[in-house]
Chains A and B, each alone.
Chain A
Amino acid sequence: MSETRPRGGWLIGLSLFVAFSLSILPMPLPAEALRPQWVAMVVVFWCLHTPERIGVFSAFASGVALDVISGTLLGQHALTLSLLAYLVVELHQRIRIFPMWQQTLFVWVLLLAERLLTLWVLGATGQPMPALSYWAPTFLGLIFWPWLSALLGDLGRRAGTL
């Protein structure tokens, strides 16, 4: 690991860029509440598969970027994403050998934790409380995770990132 220069870093950057774009892309009104947490999912994926490259601080940086891009309170996404990254990096050896359905459920729990933390930040800073549909994106994350995982895994093997 130490003698070979890590390859395919561009894929990580590109996937994050796409995730950022998807999280501010305008959507029809009914679909807006259902927007999956793309950036969280991509960060979780890279933390899971390349924990030696993407860790808590990369997650923190992408969280700050997301805060700036989406105009939320600076540090809000940074907090949730770095906590998520910490959990995944700590447990990555165990999660990676899970069968896919079990892994998906674990990611779902992570996405729920992200929502919960965000809710806590919103409450602590006195911002308006979102409606119940606030939790809906986690279920979409549940559906999308196997596909995202397969797609990024395939691309990562081709680009040499994994």
Chain B
Amino acid sequence: MAVILSLGLIIADHHYDHLGTVRSALSLVAYPLHYVVDLPAHMMRDTQGRLTNAAELRARNAALHRENLTLKARLQQFEALEAENMRLRDLLGSSFSVGERVLIAEIMSLDIAPYRQQVMINKGSRSGLFVGQPVLDANAVMGQVIQTNPFTSTVLLITDAEHALPVEINRNGLRSVAAGTGLSQELQLLHIPKNADVRVGDLLVTSGMGERFPPGYPVARIKTVRHDPDNPFITVLAEPTAALDRSREVLLVWTMDPVLQQQALSDTQGAEAPPRP
């Protein structure tokens, strides 16, 4: 009886999306547990913050101040470049908007979903998160939201074996798909022909083809290019530039316009990760 029930649950959860609301409601009940388990790590960081002495704080403040200055200087340049870029794109008739609303969330210290590359963050649908939303850290793309609960959400990292995202090589615009391998420091580029111009050290950026991730965000750096005689394609492995297993804070972006967002939402009803080619 219970076996039939659980088999039914497995099938229902795997094939259809009706259980999303049920799961979300149950997660609300599980929230206290998640909170309690996260608490020691949270308190540890808090205490660490309290125990740092004034000199250290002053030093860090100065460093941050310097960094802020450099970033601001770079931003001035960036704004000018962006305006110029937009002007040029207007000439070509293909303008798009860059950079929109951003929300900072914190990764909870929980080990959910063993053998998968997933994390839980402390912002949920109450803060306006939606399924399919891109998640970034200070350096690069980290993943996307796959489930939202009122106070928490689950993020599928780009290195998960079920995740793939459309990328292009920043140097020459060669497009490909970066699939996760299940290892936290490795992505694989799929279907790169033997004669393609791919070099170690090339930066991969999102191409925006899947209409899920905004174009132009860095993703990974190529670390090995291997020619296997028995394979019609070359094996290209890349290392994510995001500190996937070290970041504490993540950025959630709203870049897509509402129409695309609706589309993305309806797409996710069918499949959780963007389909591989």
Is B162 interfacial (CB-CB < 8 Å)? yes
Question: Can you name the residue of chain B whose Cβ is closest to the Cβ of A25?
Answer: B37
**Which B residues, 225 to 261, have Cβ-Cβ distances below 8 Å to chain A?**
none
Contact residue among B10, B36, B115, B160 (Cβ-Cβ distance under 8 Å from A73): B10
Chain B residues within 8 Å of A64, by CB: 9, 26
Name the residue in A25, A63, A134 with the highest tally of chain B Cβ atoms < 10 Å from its Cβ.
A25
Chain B residues within 8 Å of A131, by CB: 115
Is A30 interfacial (CB-CB < 8 Å)? no
How many interface residues does A have (CB within 8 Å)? 39
How many interface residues does B have (CB within 8 Å)? 40
- A68 B26 Cβ-Cβ under 8 A: yes
Contact residue among B22, B26, B114 (Cβ-Cβ distance under 8 Å from A35): B114
Is A104 interfacial (CB-CB < 8 Å)? no
- B19 A27 Cβ-Cβ under 8 A: no
- B2 A82 Cβ-Cβ under 8 A: yes
- B10 A125 Cβ-Cβ under 8 A: yes
Output the least CB separation between B271 and chain A (Å).
Answer: 12
Main secondary structure of the interface of B (DSSP, over half): helix
Chain A residues within 8 Å of B116, by CB: 127-128
Output the least CB separation between B8 and chain A (Å).
Answer: 7
Known: A21-B33, A63-B6, A79-B7. A73 touches B109 (CB 8 A): no
**Which A residues, 19 to 35, have Cβ-Cβ distances below 8 Å to chain B?**
20-21, 23-27, 32, 35
Main secondary structure of the interface of A (DSSP, over half): helix
Contact residue among B3, B33, B162 (Cβ-Cβ distance under 8 Å from A83): B3
Chain A residues within 8 Å of B27, by CB: 68
- A74 B162 Cβ-Cβ under 8 A: no
CB within 8 Å of A: which residues of B?
1-3, 5-10, 12-14, 19, 22-23, 26-27, 29-30, 33-34, 36-37, 41, 109-116, 118, 120, 147, 154, 160-162, 182
CB within 8 Å of B: which residues of A?
17, 20-21, 23-27, 32, 35, 56-57, 59-60, 63-65, 68-76, 78-79, 82-83, 86, 121, 124-125, 127-128, 130-131, 134
